[in-house]
Amino acid sequence: MRVGFVQNNPVFASVQENLNRIEYLLKGQSADLFVLPELFATGYQFKDMEESRSLAELVPEGVTTSMLTALANKTNSYIIAGLAEIEENQVYNSAVVTGPSGYIGKYRKLHLFDTEKACFQEGNLPLQVFDIAGAKVGVMICFDWRFPETARTLSLMGADLIAHPSSLVLTHCPQAMITRSLENRVFSVTADRVGMENRVEGETLHFMGQSQVIDPNGNILVRASMTDEEVHVVELDLSLARNKFLNPHNHIFNDRRTDLYH
Ligand code: ACM
């Protein structure tokens, strides 16, 4: 399987411009699956729920999901990307899954970070694993990394790969995702953004790039810079993620002592 990420630098609220930029960055690229960052088309730093609601879109009818679906069709690839979603006047920090034949599904971020709690509702959908180009793909968003139960649950559900749209501001995440991959023997694709937003007095956010693909042995297959817009595609051997044995005596799931865990 060929999987890639786009690391972009969105301009806050310039949705059409940011969508055009993704199309430009993907010109000439090919992969079975591309992962894009969290809130890749709106930017990240909303001031309140009113502002996030003003930029939130219906899924799949909205302009962002429609454009992604058209792009997935044109490039014959699957795309997983983060966006602000509205449903019945509730706003969610979501990710959509689209493919060559159309819209497939969505995930709503379970663990909201810091001031996101004032801008979004908590995710209320079950964790889900999607069938994508022969792979089982789980989706989680950014700060979900800090709750290992998220990646573990997706992995126990059979995920070979975790797609992880992000807008990273906490420096430990790229290293922590190595552990998430290692402890579950899954691939992970973190698609982060670069740049800075200072829309709230005294709360400048620096996004740290370093989008990456990690293999089930914890190896960094590719890691992008901290500063530039970049696209990378790598080839994955999914059989690595389907073998949960570390050696003939240790199976990463069967050896868990669920009789003693809380
Ligand atoms: C984050 O969850 N965007 C830090």
- Nearest residue (by CA) to ligand 1, atom 3, is 167
**d(C-alpha 57, C-alpha 91), whole Å:** 9
- Characterize 99-116 residue by residue with b for buried, 16 or more Cβ atoms within 10 angstroms of its Cβ, and e for exposed: beeebbbbbbbbbbbeeb
Burial letters 240-251, b for 16+ CB under 10 A, else e: ebeebeeeeeee
Choosing from 85, 106, 119, 142, the catalytic residue is: 142
Closest residue CA from atom 2 of ligand 1: 143
- Output the pLDDT for position 54: 98
Q: Which of 85, 106, 109, 116 is catalytic?
A: 109
| 68 CB within 6 A, ligand 1 | no
Residue-level pLDDT at 200:
92
Active site residue 136: no
Query: Is there an atom of ligand 1 within 6 Å of 119 CB?
Result: no
Is 116 in the active site?
Answer: no
Q: Does domain 2-251 have CATH number 3.60.110.10?
A: yes
DSSP code per residue over the chain: -EEEEEE--PPTT-HHHHHHHHHHHTTT---SEEE--TTTTT-S--SSHHHHHHH-B-TTTSHHHHHHHHHHHHHT-EEEEEEEEEETTEEEEEEEEEETTEEEEEEE-SS--GGGGGTSBPP-S---EEEETTEEEEE--GGGGG-HHHHHHHHHTT-SEEEEE----STTHHHHHHHHHHHHT-EEEEE--EEEE--STT--EEEE---EEE-TTS-EEEE--SSS-EEEEEE--THHHH--EEETTEETTTT--TTT--
Is residue 46 within 6 Å of ligand 1 at its C-beta? no
- Does ligand 1 come within 6 angstroms of the Cβ of 113? yes
Q: Does the Cβ of 45 fall within 6 Å of ligand 1?
A: no
Quick one: which of 118, 212, 104 has its CA closest to 162?
212
Instruction: Encode the chain (262 residues) as per-residue pLDDT tens digits.
Output: 999 999 999 999 999 999 999 999 999 999 999 999 999 999 999 999 999 999 999 999 999 999 999 999 999 999 999 999 999 999 999 999 999 999 999 999 999 999 999 999 999 999 999 999 999 999 999 999 999 999 999 999 999 999 999 999 999 999 999 999 999 999 999 999 999 999 999 999 999 999 999 999 999 999 999 999 999 999 999 999 999 999 999 999 999 999 999 8
Task: Determine the straight-line distance between the first and last CA of the chain, rounded to whole angstroms.
Answer: 36
| Known active-site residue 173 | no
Q: From the CA of 111, how far away is ligand 1's center (Å)?
A: 9
Distance 89 CA to ligand 1 centre (A): 23
**Burial class of residue 228 (count of CB atoms within 10 Å of its CB; 0-12, 13-18, 19+):** exposed
